[in-house]
């Protein structure tokens, strides 16, 4: 992978300057530059000035089969405070860490040991999860697409990415992730393809105030996991995401509830872990995603989780750099050709 950092003068007033640097820089997502150039007629390199106006324009033309005033305005920069999905209000509880701190919150820093007794797991999944937990107890990180700088499929990408840039266009909805800046392309009102991909094949449509994204054909990576605890998935993974706007206070309450799984202090911080600033105006809507996961090889039944976001500003600088060594965990797997190509 190769990422490019470019100076954005129009954003410098809004970005915190980094100590030791001569100027303020932000990551210019290829997604945003492409959209501003192609859809809004802005020259490439003008993303900083164009993207705000462009978001509103694009969201109004998201589907040729619906009137503009019936399409939910979901485009924007959205952030949450913590990893993992939120447990649903009802239905089966999905896998979480069995290790807890003295105050009862999750102890992900000690190790990540998923609950192998969860009735959702098939015997195969329970055995794989057990092996991953034992590996984590050695002090090493469970390998996954995120810490290996590879493409991320849902629901894993939703559990690990705390910020997204969502853009609604006429024929696609595009979702850029903050760390590594992977882009998912959701083809609207389309049929599924036939070729498995690491991010899967995502098609979408609108149901009233909800964007429904259906993803199949998820090709298992060398690290086919759904979360940081190493819950496995197979080539039969099927994910449905339902994106909708919710009341601002309802979103803040959901985020605080989720925070209590990690910390007794549930206050929403001013900034997320990567530096984006949360909009504290609760008159503004939040974004909530309901995720349904089905994989008959790994789970005894489908299960659901949630992810809740608040509007945010200041898209941070985040790139996933190529390296064969990790701070913790095993060395990266370097692609090798069976035969020389020269």
**SS3 track for the chain:** CCCCEEECHHHHHHCCCCCCCCCCEEECCHHHHHHHHHCCCCCCCCHHHHHHHHHHHHHHCCCCCCCHHHCCCCCEEEECCCCCCECCCCCCCCCCECCECCCCCECCCCCCCECCCCCCECHHHHHHHHHHHHHHCCCCCCCCCCCCCCCCCCCHHHHHCCEEEEEECCCEEEEEECCCCCEEEEEECCCCCCCCECCCEEEEEEECCEEEEEEECECCCCCCECCCCCCECCCCCEEEEEEEEECHHHHHHHHHHHHCCCCCCCCCCCECCCCCEECCCCCCCEEEEEEEEECCCCECCCEEEEEEEEEEECCCCCCCCCCCCCCCCCCCCCCCCCCCCC
Enumerate residue ranges in the chain where pLDDT < 50: 1-31, 35-36, 38-65
Q: What is the pLDDT of residue 30?
A: 46
Nearest-CA neighbor of 145 among 218, 52, 62, 49? 218
Q: What is the pLDDT of residue 170?
A: 87
Q: What is the pLDDT of residue 331?
A: 72
pTM above 0.85, yes or no: no
Q: What is the pLDDT of residue 3?
A: 32
Instruction: Write the pLDDT tens digit of every residue in 244-280.
Output: 999 999 999 999 999 999 999 999 999 999 899 999 9
Rg (the chain; Cα; Å): 20
- The answer to whether the CB of 176 falls within 8 A of the CB of 165 is yes
Cα separation of 65 and 220, whole Å? 34
> What are the φ and ψ backbone dihedral angles of 130, each rounded to 5 degrees?
-60, -45
Neighbours of 5 (CB within 10 A): 11
């Amino acid at each position: 992978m190769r990422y490019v950092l470019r100076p954005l003068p129009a954003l410098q007033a809004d970005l915190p300057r980094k100590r030791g640097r001569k100027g303020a820089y932000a990551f210019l997502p290829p997604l945003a530059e492409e959209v501003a150039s192609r859809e809004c007629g802005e020259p490439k390199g003008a993303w900083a000035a164009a993207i705000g106006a462009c978001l509103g324009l694009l969201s109004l033309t998201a589907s040729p089969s619906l009137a503009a005033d019936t399409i939910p305005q979901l485009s924007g920069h959205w952030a949450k405070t913590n990893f993992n999905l939120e447990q649903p209000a009802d239905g089966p509880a999905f896998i979480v860490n069995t290790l807890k701190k003295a105050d009862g919150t999750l102890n992900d820093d000690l190790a990540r040991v998923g609950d192998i007794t969860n009735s959702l797991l098939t015997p195969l999944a329970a055995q794989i999860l057990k092996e991953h937990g034992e590996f984590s107890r050695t002090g090493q990180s469970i390998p996954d697409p995120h810490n290996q700088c590879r493409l991320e499929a849902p629901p894993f990408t939703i559990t690990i990415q705390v910020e997204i840039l969502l853009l609604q266009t006429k024929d696609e909805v595009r979702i850029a992730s903050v760390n590594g800046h992977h882009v998912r392309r959701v083809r609207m009102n389309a049929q599924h393809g036939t070729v498995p991909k690491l991010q899967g094949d995502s098609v979408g449509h609108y149901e009233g105030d909800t964007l429904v994204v259906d993803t199949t054909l998820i090709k298992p990576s060398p690290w086919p996991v759904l979360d940081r605890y190493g819950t496995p998935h197979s080539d039969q993974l099927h994910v449905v995401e339902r994106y909708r706007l919710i009341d601002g206070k309802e979103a803040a309450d959901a985020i605080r509830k989720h925070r209590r799984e990690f910390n007794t202090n549930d206050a929403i911080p001013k900034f997320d872990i990567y530096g984006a600033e949360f909009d504290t105006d609760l008159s503004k809507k939040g974004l909530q995603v309901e995720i349904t996961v089905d994989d008959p090889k790994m789970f005894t039944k489908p299960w659901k989780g949630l992810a809740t976001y608040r509007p945010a500003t200041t898209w941070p600088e985040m790139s996933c750099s190529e390296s064969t060594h990790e701070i913790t965990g095993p060395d990266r797997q370097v692609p090798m050709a069976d035969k020389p190509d020269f």
